[in-house]
Structure 1
């Protein structure tokens, strides 16, 4: 669609007497609703203010371009308003605005919104267009000014431009393209050719080549966020500035390039896709949440795939052992009870030899036959049938990589590619597993001889991995800065040999030091879980984990709980297989899995049980939450939480805590870290004895846990909203569809000439109208009460 086709006479205004930004937004919103361009004035206005809250849409030169991409828009359009007097719009240049362009689209055409913004910005930078708009008296004149052919830019060969640059703003829309247009215009005014790369919502356009950058006389990076591809500028002098500076001072930036105080030489820049942007700085160390989430997100495929395949191995072994009538041996008492010490060693009395053979039996794969019966160690479950063993082995590899990958990508997020090896090594050393703490004289005991005693098994786990990743980042940072002045000829050797080798040695010394104290921290965590298991208090742990999953719906607290769960699936929280907590630890994963399903499902349940307390739009959106919740995607609740930040998290926490309690009481374990209800066959209930009953009841109570938590959340949320609506504290942002539903029924009854039915529906509509009037009175009273409290 051409730009001029978005303007309409009904929503174009000239010399309008409005005195504030709020008045303009109110005026345009009400007009757009009246003329049927939008369906819901409140939802539209909320979207306008939400965008303004992200950064002013006042682009300068007396122009503002508020823009909304929202489903409430019926018809894509641009509302135009030429004000009689200029008003404050918090513009980039600090000047008031009198030309307002309100762009609205509904998102059905993904590029329409971006194209409208980019094209409009391209016209509005021209002084003659601005002047013409201020003199315009009709929408036809506006269309004429905004449809003039643009000057064709001269396309040079590769490397043939005087001025090159990159523009990027946080939203990737108006300022990105406006800054590019202005730099292009300034360069043309100075008789110079220019090529400006934009990194906006439409992706990278007019991408600069290595020759473009090498041959350019002026390089300007105008950005308000990190730029991709910074390594292209290594060794090049650039002006590093903002989009605002480029828009208003671009001519000076080009003319006085060599004397500009923002001029600097780019060195050791990392590409954004490689873990950083710009020069290596300490600022990335401060982004703890971002770095942690970067590691968790990269770790998830290993955990999810490995856990599900490992669980498949267990499931196959369950089917195989049940089909063949095999007996599980779960303790030394069972070992002696069945006389298995005799079949292995010839010893039947309870002595050291029996203990030793029992230990060998628990570590073996497969099974043994004795007196016509086949036995297997419950600790070797998943390795008994050769097919099951194959899948378990593959899954175990994925799970073993979990902690090294977590540490590798946390370090990668901080210092880029050089951190990958360092972080991975830190994760491997932290995880232990016999790699460095084995017996003296073996390859795996390389560190043991340096320690006062054998610390085999005392690994620092994920805590040590995270600390090691950060310290590894500091090591890489330090060596990179120390070797900063290496000549170009030595930079390759520096990055491939010197920094990696020195960083690896430093990492080994650091991990040797921190693994001891952090190992005891991890040991304390293991002992705590063991204590809770021995005292039959694992339900408390499950309540806490499930509750954490519901606090921020995919945020850092949620991720901490989920990480604990994934570690339990890999048996990395409690590694002593003789501990009562060894098998119980996977209850933590069940609590995390079930708890994470509660928020989206609870919202969906609430919209069904309490339909009058939700807008029709919310009820339609909640339909997808059934599937998202079933698939363990907590983030399905986030859009609802943004609109209702108090009731939804609190009700979700209560529902999650109850879900965790059910998991803990019925001792439900699971060996898969993801998959929602679709991995329920992998559950067991340790409350029962016998493989078959454990499996069956595990599945039953898994569904009970999720269902009870979701229903409790839905009921609490529904009644809470009902009470606040009746008290005037909660105002729905749109229709709840009740009146519309009644009107549809009325139309059908009228068509059938059913007078008694019509009378009943009319009575219901009248009662509902009275209900709405009463609500409005209560809402107004509540509003006045709040205002009076604020004044006091």
Structure 2
């Protein structure tokens, strides 16, 4: 469908008097519901606001493009509103928004959502289109802009080459990718220059640059917000490397600057896979510790979650088969249980290597995957290089070392090893950065991988044992906290549980939450153990704490209806299921609106829940699943020892109690806090009214007195 056909008189509004971004969204959603373009106004508004919470859709120049792909949409459409008074939209350029284009699709037609967003962004980048739209008063004004045919790219004559070439790419691969490309084309055209821009977006690589295009260009601009494919094509050439936002607002300055040598760098040692290595590498990527660690954790989670749940099924089968007292063989006695347990263990065994591989990948790109993965395998204490064998293919490294050393450094060794792997790859890429083009393929496929493998092997041989002692110390600390006889009869796991529950509620899916959750998964995966079987209290506390924010909000909207809007109460209904499934992110939209009260009340609830979990030493053998993995809970408190059935039953009951208490703790704190603030606001408003009334009365008295005196 052509872009102009997505606009209509029924969904286009001119000079609307609205004051805030929320009012604009609600206004357009209401109109769309009236026209039956959407079938669920509340769900649609939630989808729009969820996208806004991820990052503002204000693209600058007074324009915003809120968008949603949601089942509530009956037909693809673009709603338009020009605002009488521009509103704040947190736009890229910091300027208020006057024109709002709201895109809605339901996802049934493949990449339609991306296509509409990309095409609309392209039209909106043209200065002449912006001028027309700012003055638009009727639907025909919109049709005039979006019905105009796109200008065909000028064909070069034989022997002619492009003056300007570029690549654009943004993280989502949608709006900014195509906006920056269009701006570069528009500005270069006005300057009388021929131009070709390659886009690497969600639609794939389009308008791909050839080696001849790059070699003969007078200006080369790479505007990217992420790693891209094909950077090796620019090796040996001068470029300006910047971001998409810079091109959108400063394209002409960049083109002129290239001619003067401003901000120009020579690309060296880049791999075609998009590795940010070589002479143009920035140490800033090493400094982004949080981003690199989260990059590894996000790739590791599917292995942990799927493997943990499958392993849990194996435990359940053995429990049902009457093998609950099998000790260390629990989960393997029944052959069906063993099948599931084996599959789960294989997946979870890859957890640490995958973590290391993708931390290295986040830092250095594809070349970091192999040495990062090997670093993780070695940190895990692989039996081929470490163990107790004297001959054969086991313990090949351990034979040259004294017996009794800790050969497994776990996730600590994996994280350190990943950074070392990235540094080694960078070093060798730098060393080979000046090889001729004919040798670049051999460099990337043979030289750098082989030397990087030798480098990370040597590094891990040197650091694995020292870091193994660190890991050993952590495990001994856990053992101490888990052993009342060593702490004067006090079970200090209660403090660990409280801290983990608290951390899970601090940022709800952010880095602090992920640290707590990762520690829990390490106990399930067997890379963080105390030898007493109680270390998975950390996992139990993490899951229980993560369930509190969405459940607490859901309960609060029931207990304190008057302090919540109808829209919030409806949105909170989904939190019952999200909380039950251990999806903390269900609370994020509420925290975005009210960060202080929601976050602090959630932390209090998470702390109380973790405290109870730790107090009764409740363990959990699965890293995810919410209520669906409750049968794997077990209380290892002394009062329930000796009876497996009782330990499991009480573990489930006490766990539910802990979550219920934490949920109501959050709900009550949040509800009374909102109620108190609301009453305070009413009191202040009443006081202001009284003061205003008194002033009015006083002025009236003065006027009357003046008349009498006259």
Please, what TM-score do these two structures have when normalized by structure 1? 0.71
Q: By how many angstroms is 1:433 displaced?
A: 5.5
Superposed, which structure 2 residues align to 1:459-498 within 5 Å?
Answer: 459-498=408-447
CA distance in 2, matches of 1:654, 1:716: 8
Q: Which residue of 2 aligns with 1:614?
A: 564
Q: Which residue of 1 aligns with 2:698?
A: none
CA distance in 1, matches of 2:364, 2:264: 24
Superposed, which structure 2 residues align to 1:24-63 within 5 Å?
Answer: 57-59=59-61
> CA 1:602–1:73 in 2, change beyond 3 Å: closer, same or farther?
same
> CA 1:606–1:259 in 2, change beyond 3 Å: closer, same or farther?
same
CA distance in 1, matches of 2:569, 2:65: 26
CA distance in 1, matches of 2:690, 2:371: 59
1:432 aligns with 2:381: yes
Stretches of structure 1 lacking an aligned partner (at least 5 in a row): 17-22, 329-375, 577-581, 729-773, 785-792
> CA 1:440–1:151 in 2, change beyond 3 Å: closer, same or farther?
closer
> CA 1:36–1:210 in 2, change beyond 3 Å: closer, same or farther?
same
Q: By how many angstroms is 1:508 displaced?
A: 3.0
In 2, are the aligned partners of 1:166 and 1:197 still within 8 Å (CA)?
yes
Secondary structure of 1:647's aligned partner:
helix
> CA 1:383–1:783 in 2, change beyond 3 Å: closer, same or farther?
farther
Superposed, which structure 2 residues align to 1:120-519 within 5 Å?
Answer: 122=123, 125=126, 127=128, 144=144, 147-153=147-153, 162=162, 163-168=164-169, 176-188=177-189, 194-199=195-200, 203-204=203-204, 206-208=206-208, 210=210, 213=213, 217-218=217-218, 220-223=220-223, 225-226=225-226, 228-231=228-231, 233-235=233-235, 237=237, 238-243=239-244, 246=247, 250=251, 260-270=261-271, 279-321=280-322, 328=325, 376=326, 378-432=327-381, 434-439=383-388, 441-442=390-391, 443-448=393-398, 451=401, 453-457=402-406, 459-519=408-468
Superposed, which structure 2 residues align to 1:671-690 within 5 Å?
Answer: 671-686=621-636, 687-690=640-643
Q: Which residue of 2 aligns with 1:559?
A: 514
User: Which of the numbers 586, 600, 604 marks the counterpart of 1:636?
Assistant: 586
Q: Which residue of 1 aligns with 2:705?
A: none
CA distance in 2, matches of 1:392, 1:714: 39
> CA 1:725–1:76 in 2, change beyond 3 Å: closer, same or farther?
farther
User: Which of the numbers 71, 83, 101 marks the counterpart of 1:103?
Assistant: 101
> CA 1:500–1:575 in 2, change beyond 3 Å: closer, same or farther?
farther
What per-residue deviation string (whole Å, max 9, x for no partner) do you get for residues 725-756 of structure 1?
Answer: 2222xxxxxxxxxxxxxxxxxxxxxxxxxxxx
CA distance in 2, matches of 1:617, 1:293: 33
CA distance in 2, matches of 1:89, 1:556: 27
Q: By how many angstroms is 1:158 displaced?
A: 14
1:693 aligns with 2:631: no
In 2, are the aligned partners of 1:605 and 1:711 still within 8 Å (CA)?
yes
> CA 1:601–1:112 in 2, change beyond 3 Å: closer, same or farther?
same
Secondary structure of 1:196's aligned partner:
strand
In 1, are the aligned partners of 2:496 and 2:538 still within 8 Å (CA)?
yes
Q: Which residue of 1 aligns with 2:685?
A: 777
CA distance in 1, matches of 2:278, 2:575: 37
What per-residue deviation string (whole Å, max 9, x for no partner) do you get for residues 187-231 of structure 1?
Answer: 55577654433456x644634154674576356435262253243
What per-residue deviation string (whole Å, max 9, x for no partner) do you get for residues 275-310 of structure 1?
Answer: 889943322111111111111111112212222222
1:719 aligns with 2:627: no
What per-residue deviation string (whole Å, max 9, x for no partner) do you get for residues 70-123 of structure 1?
Answer: 89999954334699xx999999999x99x9433345666896798478447536
Secondary structure of 1:572's aligned partner:
coil
1:547 aligns with 2:502: yes
> CA 1:149–1:783 in 2, change beyond 3 Å: closer, same or farther?
farther
> CA 1:447–1:57 in 2, change beyond 3 Å: closer, same or farther?
closer
Q: Which residue of 2 aligns with 1:769?
A: none
CA distance in 1, matches of 2:23, 2:146: 23
In 2, are the aligned partners of 1:275 and 1:412 still within 8 Å (CA)?
no
Q: By how many angstroms is 1:720 displaced?
A: 1.9
Superposed, which structure 2 residues align to 1:86-101 within 5 Å?
Answer: 100-101=98-99
Q: By how many angstroms is 1:481 displaced?
A: 0.9
Superposed, which structure 2 residues align to 1:51-90 within 5 Å?
Answer: 57-59=59-61, 64-69=62-67, 77-80=79-82
Q: Which residue of 1 aligns with 2:480?
A: 531
What per-residue deviation string (whole Å, max 9, x for no partner) do you get for residues 474-503 of structure 1?
Answer: 122112111222233333333333323332
Secondary structure of 1:78's aligned partner:
strand
Q: Which residue of 1 aligns with 2:37?
A: none
Secondary structure of 1:569's aligned partner:
helix
> CA 1:10–1:620 in 2, change beyond 3 Å: closer, same or farther?
closer
CA distance in 1, matches of 2:479, 2:185: 67
User: Which of the numbers 580, 590, 604 marks the counterpart of 2:540?
Assistant: 590
CA distance in 2, matches of 1:500, 1:193: 40
Secondary structure of 1:486's aligned partner:
coil
What per-residue deviation string (whole Å, max 9, x for no partner) do you get for residues 660-718 of structure 1?
Answer: 22222332222111111111122222234222222333332332232332222222222
CA distance in 2, matches of 1:620, 1:520: 52
In 2, are the aligned partners of 1:571 and 1:585 still within 8 Å (CA)?
no
1:660 aligns with 2:610: yes
Secondary structure of 1:223's aligned partner:
strand
Q: Which residue of 2 aligns with 1:704?
A: 657
Q: By how many angstroms is 1:274 displaced?
A: 6.8
CA distance in 2, matches of 1:783, 1:640: 35
> CA 1:278–1:34 in 2, change beyond 3 Å: closer, same or farther?
same
CA distance in 1, matches of 2:526, 2:212: 54
Q: By how many angstroms is 1:575 displaced?
A: 5.9
What per-residue deviation string (whole Å, max 9, x for no partner) do you get for residues 603-661 of structure 1?
Answer: 11211222222111111211221121111111111111111111212221222122222
Q: Name the count of aligned residue pairs.
A: 660
Stretches of structure 2 lacking an aligned partner (at least 5 in a row): 34-40, 485-490, 693-710
In 2, are the aligned partners of 1:164 and 1:195 still within 8 Å (CA)?
yes
> CA 1:220–1:627 in 2, change beyond 3 Å: closer, same or farther?
farther
> CA 1:585–1:492 in 2, change beyond 3 Å: closer, same or farther?
same
In 2, are the aligned partners of 1:548 and 1:558 still within 8 Å (CA)?
yes
In 2, are the aligned partners of 1:318 and 1:691 still within 8 Å (CA)?
no
